[in-house]
Structure 1
């Protein structure tokens, strides 16, 4: 587990070279919000998560949305170009529109679209729903780009981040229903945590997303900022560097 944060960024803008305290702060805000303990942070401007909650409204994953925004601003992206929620609504190809968690629209061009998802309980049904939503939404956005919906935009960075509760239920092997055909070998005996990791990893490798991050955190340790990153390819730092590099390369 990564240790809890010892301090926030002095100027409110995080550095890619010192991300663990910032990630820990976002994880901590998730658990504070989920457990009803976030009101104090929401009213405070003395911490990074307090400032971000005040701007974004304090949803459970807004600590990550605010961190992504601040990382982009630190790389020179105008803050007004970074949209969230309703303001991040984008047209699709198979459907008329979708409200993304974060979109970067600069100089009339779509540079990025990002989703932040959590899995705290009811892993079975919720994880299937998350997979269907992610695969469908990402396919829809990429098809819209290929059909010129966002012209003259470059191909946008499509990002996906998942934070999963780290507990006995998420880590125990899960049975499969196979009345007709056997499931993929990698799903045999896999836990919900492993299924979520495979979802993120396979979306990256099949280019349904440009980058993905997968984090786990127990409530007890998460309230102190503790988290883990089970897969090197899905570390938040890697995700953040790829996102900021892509967007920063088109701003200036």
Structure 2
């Protein structure tokens, strides 16, 4: 896939993200940043992008799920994923989680980390326990959009009162920490692929690292779907 293939759609997704974020803040009762942190609608542009990639890869629309995407868990009853591809025979082909954070980094980074790890561990344990029988392992993805501002690019102090932290966290900003998280989620095979996108306005965005770029993520996603073509016949 050429880097320009979905450039227009990515730009539209970022623009929608910011417009939705501003709308959430304007309508928030307490006028805090909470609506911008927890609101899910702002990622709908990226959902549309994933849907287009799936359709272009030969997946029928009826096999793409973007609402009420509950998958059975192991540690909990079920989890509502953001984007699913399920074959006509009900095989789980792909599951993707999308998250974002603009501001309130100190209050929410650990929450985002725990959510990402927990969702993956729960899904893979359920898979091991045959909750998705008679199929190959699904493709599991994670996309994070993070704001690029003074709060996310300033080095963060580590808590080392008892034990030292790993060296890579030394002088790391929150964007650095998200980069470390996304790389390690993939390294430890909690997710098949991860993507980390920074943005500072609806017209400014970019990848934090090439191996966790959005374009790389979409390439892997499309390749998996095309390799699963027989499941949609």
TM category, shorter: 0.7 to 0.9
Which residue is equivalent to 1:8?
Answer: none
SS in 2 for 1:150: coil
Which residue is equivalent to 2:128?
Answer: 146
Task: Confirm whether residue 176 of structure 1 aligns to residue 176 of structure 2.
Answer: no
> Cα gap change, 1:16/1:186 in structure 2, threshold over 3 Å: closer, same or farther?
closer
Q: How does 1:115-134 map to 2 (within 5 A)?
A: 115-134=97-116
Q: How does 1:206-217 map to 2 (within 5 A)?
A: 206-217=188-199
Deviation for aligned residue 1:249: 1.5
CA contact under 8 A between 2:58 and 2:225: conserved in structure 1? Answer: no
Which residue is equivalent to 2:202?
Answer: 223
Task: Confirm whether residue 31 of structure 1 aligns to residue 15 of structure 2.
Answer: no
Q: How does 1:227-238 map to 2 (within 5 A)?
A: 227-238=205-216
Which residue is equivalent to 2:80?
Answer: 99
CA contact under 8 A between 2:156 and 2:171: conserved in structure 1? Answer: yes
Deviation for aligned residue 1:17: 5.1
RMSD: 1.7
User: What is the CA deviation profile of residues 184-214 of structure 1, one whole-angstrom value per residue up to 9, with x for unaligned ones?
Assistant: 1111110000001111010011111000110
What are the ranges of 5 or more consecutive residues in structure 1 without an aligned counterpart? Answer: 1-13, 38-57
Deviation for aligned residue 1:232: 0.6
Which residue is equivalent to 2:219?
Answer: 241
User: What is the CA deviation profile of residues 60-107 of structure 1, one whole-angstrom value per residue up to 9, with x for unaligned ones?
Assistant: 001001100111001110111111241x11001121100000111112
CA contact under 8 A between 2:71 and 2:78: conserved in structure 1? Answer: yes
Which residue is equivalent to 1:89?
Answer: 70
What are the ranges of 5 or more consecutive residues in structure 2 without an aligned counterpart? Answer: 25-39
| CA–CA distance in structure 2, aligned partners of residues 69 and 146 of structure 1 | 28
> Cα gap change, 1:124/1:81 in structure 2, threshold over 3 Å: closer, same or farther?
same
**Structure 1 stretches of at least 4 aligned residues deviating more than 3 Å after TM superposition:** 14-17
Compute the TM-score of the two structures, normalised by the length of structure 1: 0.81
| CA–CA distance in structure 1, aligned partners of residues 119 and 14 of structure 2 | 25
Q: How many residues align?
A: 214
Task: Confirm whether residue 160 of structure 1 aligns to residue 138 of structure 2.
Answer: no
| CA–CA distance in structure 1, aligned partners of residues 4 and 150 of structure 2 | 33
Which residue is equivalent to 1:44?
Answer: none
Deviation larger for 130-139 or 16-25: 16-25
User: What is the CA deviation profile of residues 150-172 of structure 1, one whole-angstrom value per residue up to 9, with x for unaligned ones?
Assistant: 01221011100000011011000
